[in-house]
Structure 1
Amino acid sequence: MARSTLPHFRGATVNPHPDLGDKAAHLFKVLVEEYLEQGQPVSSNTIASKSPYTVSSATVRNNMAKLQEHGLVSSPHTSAGRIPTQHGLRFFVDGLISYEPLDHEAEQHVWDELSRDQSRQDLLETASQMLSDFTHLAGLVSMPREEQISLRQVEFLPLTGRQVLAVLIVNEREVQNRVIETSRPYSEVELKQAANFINDSFGGRSLEAIRKGVLDSMSRDKEQINEVLQRAYDIASRTFIESEHDFVVAGERHLVPFTTSGEKVQQLLEAFESKSSIVHLLDACIDGEGVRLFIGEESGYEAFEDYSLITAPYEVKGKVAGVLGVIGPTRMSYQKVVPFVDVTSRVLGHVIENS
């Protein structure tokens, strides 16, 4: 899976295709910028008129032919103009863009929105909605890793049959409700005993540490522990079962106009509904540093082959807690989106750490 890590606000780098020559690289940059703005194939006459340098249409055509040989542009059958390929867009974002810091007003807006008094869940939803509103793309924020979530207290309430409602108070004030299926029906007294044991033994520890501790204890002490502890371990193992990192999303509707067919729309909606492919994509980004880009087929998922994913991890207490980003058409304003994703990730991490 191809990935790219970008510094926070990197200037244009050395031309990664030196055999093209500076003129061809410059004309290619003009073509891509025009294509990103207009969304249509770009003619040689347009490139010549947009270039700050004096070039003829014939010179542009010769250079476009060279770019096409390198696989950076293509010419749709129905048009005399050219568009950048996905390989060309990768060349553009890696070597030809200058990223500028987010302006003060926009950065202040990020701080204002995320610093409001709100629950952890509402905070993540605010971040995803803000990403969507600013970029007019789909905003994504993964839930914090379990190692960043500490248990304060747990309570178990019987529902029907073998179903139990686990009420977890985590971190300072957040409440999580989980419906679990136990190995047999348990009475209120048994559930109370299990909750007391877990609170006494694991209160204050991360959910990840609790899961590992419970599983280790079950495998090590299974023959020696009494019936009360066996019940507690059974319930705890089902409460703290490892799950895929979930995420919140906003603005999926922004992607529909950019799909090429009804089948693509269906694939896209199914991807958001099932969540698994998006979770895997976010997990692929979570261990990296800085802003990352997946362009088109680089994601490895057919549903996103017409889209780009821009992500950045957010950190809490010096450790990566999750990842956020946007999904949008490959024809997006990378210079606008990258700085906003970068700033939002750093502000979100700061707010969570200090909340």
Structure 2
Amino acid sequence: MSEERRLAVLRAIVQDYVATSEPVASKALVERHHLGVSAATVRNDMAVLEEEGLIHAPHTSAGRVPTDAGYRLFVDRLSALKPMSPAERTAISRFLEGAVDLDDVVDRTVRLLSSLTRSVAVMQYPSLTRSTVRHVELVPLGPSRLLVVLIVNTGRVEQRTVETGDVDLTTADGEAVVARLRTEINAEASGRPLTEAAARLTALPERFEVAQRDLVRAATGALDDALAEEREERVVLAGTSNLARLRTDFPQTIGPVLEALEEHVVLLRLLGTLGEDHDTVAVRIGHENQHQGLTGTSVVSTGYAAGSELVAGLGVLGPTRMDYPTTMAAVRAVARYVSQLLAP
């Protein structure tokens, strides 16, 4: 019973400190929360929590604040995430459904997440190892130009225009070559990871007559360029200005945090390793973040899917004094809506 009561005291300290940013004293806990015990008992529980390294006194006042370990225990013992309200869910859905392509989805997502959580939002473009080719389309643009269109399972579309050499695409023979090339490319690439698709297309020109090979090489070369661009690990973020609003949570300086956010590799690492469970929300608190500049921050992240497969991650970064239940619920809800948008 005493352990459960101390957990209730810790939970109350976390909630009050997140709400007020002021160290929490035993008297305030008794007045604000129905703990069912005396102030003396609460003081004893706070003493035990401090001995266990879950709270500490930032200065000589009677108040206490959570440590990284205290936040970790609080998050680990969350029985449920705070549900989003119907109005919030509707707003999320309407905002994201207005996106016209994947770039717009990513841009809207980070802006929405930063607004919902008042933190820095980070989103990774679909990962190289998890993206696949959905379809390749070839569209003649006159006698000597061909539009090559790559569509990836995440909804991203890349286009390239190539010169066809000696093949006249307006003739029956030219149309037949394009039709065969479209079939052969999709047979080799559709449904395959980007790197595998690129490798399988290298031998394709040898299957065609010598006079047609320049056209085939031009088309497969354009696809290789598009696939290479798709394979770049890209990360987008929004809401760094929110850190200025939270300056009191970084008593020394927010400089190291801003410098860390400028490093591409750091941003990718923030999102962690994706599992297979769409609903798993990961939380890294304070010194659990390996980058030195981020030891005063917490990162809440999850994965989003295209169909049944997780393809990349998204999340938010803010101070350790974070409303974890609300932030975790927002990250999970937005990821679900993004997954719905990207479903085939």
Shared fold, TM over 0.5: yes
The equivalent of 1:247 in structure 2 is: 235
> How many corresponding residue pairs?
315
Letter in 2 for 1:32: V
| Segment drifting more, 121-130 vs 313-322 | 313-322
Alpha-carbon deviations, 1:28-84, whole Å to 9, x = none? 211111111111211122122223135443322221111111111111234331111
For normalisation by structure 2, the TM-score amounts to: 0.76
Cα contact 1:244–1:279 (8 A) shared by 2:
no
Instruction: Kindly state the Cα deviation for residue 92 of structure 1 after the two structures are TM-superposed.
Output: 0.5
Q: Distance in 2 between matches of 1:262 and 1:336?
A: 24
Q: Flag the structure with larger Rg.
A: 2
Q: Which amino acid aligns with 1:83?
A: V
1:39-58 to 2 correspondences below 5 Å: 39-58=21-40
Post-superposition Cα deviations, 1:229-256, rounded to whole Å, max 9, x if no partner, equal 8888777655533845312221111124
Structure-2 separation of matches of 1:98 and 1:321? 26
Query: Does residue 83 of the first structure (1) align with residue 65 of the second (2)?
Result: yes
Distance 1:202 1:80 in 2: 71
CA shift for structure 1 position 118: 1.4
Aligned to 2:53: 71
How far did 1:124 drift? 1.7
Partner of 2:98: 116
How many Å apart are 1:217 and its aligned residue?
Answer: 6.8
Distance 1:262 1:30 in 2: 24
- In structure 1, what is the Cα distance between the partners aligned to 2:22 and 2:181? 61
- Aligned partners of 1:341, 1:240: CA distance in 2, in Å? 29
- The equivalent of 1:152 in structure 2 is 136
Larger displacement relative to structure 2 (51-60 or 204-213) = 204-213
* Equivalent residue, structure 1, for 2:173: none
Deviates more, 1:279-288 or 1:167-176: 167-176
Rounded to whole Å, the distance in 1 between the matches of 2:312 and 2:182 is 26
Identical positions, percent: 24
Correspondence 1:190-205 to 2 at 5 A: 201-203=184-186, 205=189
Say if 1:189 and 1:273 are closer, same or farther in 2 by CA, change over 3 A. farther
Q: Contact between 2:278 and 2:304, CA under 8 Å: does it hold in 1?
A: no
Compute the displacement of 1:320 (Å). Answer: 0.9
Question: Normalising by structure 1, what TM-score?
Answer: 0.74
Shift of the 202–263 alpha-carbon distance from structure 1 to 2, 3 Å rule, reads: farther
Structure 1 spans left out of the alignment, 5+ residues: 1-17, 156-165, 179-186
Matches of 1:348 and 1:104, distance apart in 2: 17
Distance 1:270 1:216, change over 3 A: farther
Q: Is the 8 A contact 1:286 1:323 kept in 2?
A: no
CA contact (8 A) 2:121 2:317 kept: yes
Amino acid corresponding to residue 136 of structure 2 in structure 1: R
1:121 Cα deviation after fit = 0.9
Assess, with a 3 A threshold, how the Cα gap between structure 1 residues 39 and 326 changes in structure 2: closer, same or farther.
same
**Which segments of 5 or more consecutive residues in structure 2 lack a partner in the other structure?**
140-146, 168-177
1:170 aligns with 2:148: no
Change (3 A) 1:108 1:314: same
Letter in structure 1 aligned against 2:334: T
**Is residue 2:17 matched to residue 1:35?**
yes
Contact 2:260–2:291 (CA<8 Å) still a contact in 1?
no
The Cα RMSD (Å) is: 3.8
- Which has the higher mean CA deviation after the structures are superposed, 334-343 or 265-274? 265-274
CA distance in 2 between counterparts of 1:44 and 1:212 reads: 62
Structure 1 contact 202–210 (Cα < 8 Å) conserved? no
- Going from structure 1 to structure 2, the CA distance change for 1:65 and 1:141 (only over 3 Å counts) comes to same
What is the distance in 2 between the residues matched to 1:198 and 1:302?
52
Q: What are the equivalent positions in structure 2 for 1:308-319 lying under 5 Å apart? A: 308-319=298-309
